[in-house]
Homo-oligomer: A and B are copies of this chain.
Amino acid sequence: MNAEIVAVGSELLTPQRLDTNSLYLTDQLNSLGVELVMKMVVGDDRRRLAEAVRAALSRSEIVIITGGLGPTEDDVTRDAVAQAIGRSQSFHQDICDWIEARFKRMNRVMVENNRRQAFVIDGAEILENDRGTAPGQWINEHGRIIMLLPGPPNELKAMFSAQCMPKLERLLPPQVIRTRFYRVAGMPESDLDQLIAPVYTKYENPATTILAAPSDIQFHLRARCADEASALAVLAEVGGEIEQLLGDRIYSTDGRPLEAAVGAMLARKNATLAVAESCTGGMLAERITSVAGSSNYFLGGFLTYTNRMKIEILGIDPAELEQHTAVSEFTAEAMARGAKERTGASYALSVTGVAGPDGGTEESPVGTVWIGLANATESQARRYRFLGDRERIRGLATQTALDLLRRKLGTAGS
């Protein structure tokens, strides 16, 4: 079966915005064995969108339309699809009541415009939206499937995975696809590929996909077989060879990000963590606390953005701080020790550096970051030099700090 995606929104035709929902949808469709054969982006234009939908239906069995389901005049998807397939729309009081109740829960009053979102194309099944006001629609048009999904990625993903995937699975021939996810920290993509390509290129099945982000590589092995046992056997064979090669560079085999992997290690050890951040300004703690349940091991921390904060809040000696400067081994270690002592945590991480664009010196150019780690018995700090803009430098610093702690936690007896 073939699919097409039509992303709707004039903002997606500006130089600032790309449709990224299609990446998620493609991944999901591929996992069912459905191939994507075309993507289109259309502005908020009823006539053009209706034409695009008609053209897509003439080529492909599955047509997914994303966006344009909002409450404004600009939101033309419902009308355009109805026009493309020659059906009418009806007002559904129950949807309107549901939207109104949602507003009420947020102590707001529903405005008249939102009534538009209660119109449904005749014959469509309603896809509930538990994260926004726009319901989706699922239409079977002479055996071809049309889906109308909301544009906001969190709404679209929740709706597609919970409601569309099970419906699609029932329509498609049985096929088992099983995937193994690996995540690797602290290694450039080219080095990783050099190491594991001799293994994965030997096999057509599973298919290997490598996704690289700064200091964080994900790769997937995807086996497609007639039954589950065969798929798992294929994954075990190829996955086993790759795990041998990568060893402890793999930090996650279930897709979890580094902060979740480190959190699980802390929880297993009944250990606790605190942080002291300067240049990352809360980003390290933000990542740690993005994990549900992080209050089981994360105590808190100190954002010591100024030297005075480092002295007064973390108790760093002012003379030594001035002598070594804020971006130094001394300061990173003292910050980690200070955070550990003041919180009683088993481990403390610290970050101090120059995220730029200003503030670089000859000794510590932009991108220089010291990362400190303290536990009950010792403290240490390491110097790094990251390249890129402010956001990238801060991201790499938090990733490296988390990986440092991961390796420490992985060492026996630490």
- Which A residues have a C-beta under 8 Å from some C-beta of B? 10-20, 23-24, 26-27, 30, 35-43, 45, 48, 52, 55, 59, 70-74, 102, 105-108, 111-114, 131, 133, 154, 188-191, 193-194, 197, 201, 209-212, 220, 275, 277, 279-286, 288-290, 292-295, 298-306, 308-309, 312-313, 342-343, 356-359, 385-392, 394
Contacts and interface: CB of A to CB of B under 8 A. Distances in A.
Contacts of A386: 106
B292 A356 contact: yes
A356 B14 CA distance: 35
Contact of A286 (B40, B107, B282, B358): B282
Nearest to A31: B15
B11 A211 contact: yes
A100 B277 CA distance: 33
Given A23-B15, A41-B39, A189-B70, A286 B283 contact: yes
Contacts of A313: 300, 302, 342-343
Contact of A14 (B108, B209, B300): B209
Contacts of A342: 312-313
Given A37-B13, A106-B385, A285 B299 contact: no
B38 A48 contact: yes
A99 to B, nearest CB: 10
B305 A295 contact: yes
Number of copies of chain A assembled together: 2
B111 A190 contact: yes
A133 B212 CA distance: 13
A281 B303 contact: no
B285 A391 contact: no
A193 B52 contact: no
Contact of A305 (B36, B300, B392): B300
Contacts of A133: 190
B106 A387 contact: yes
B282 A11 contact: no
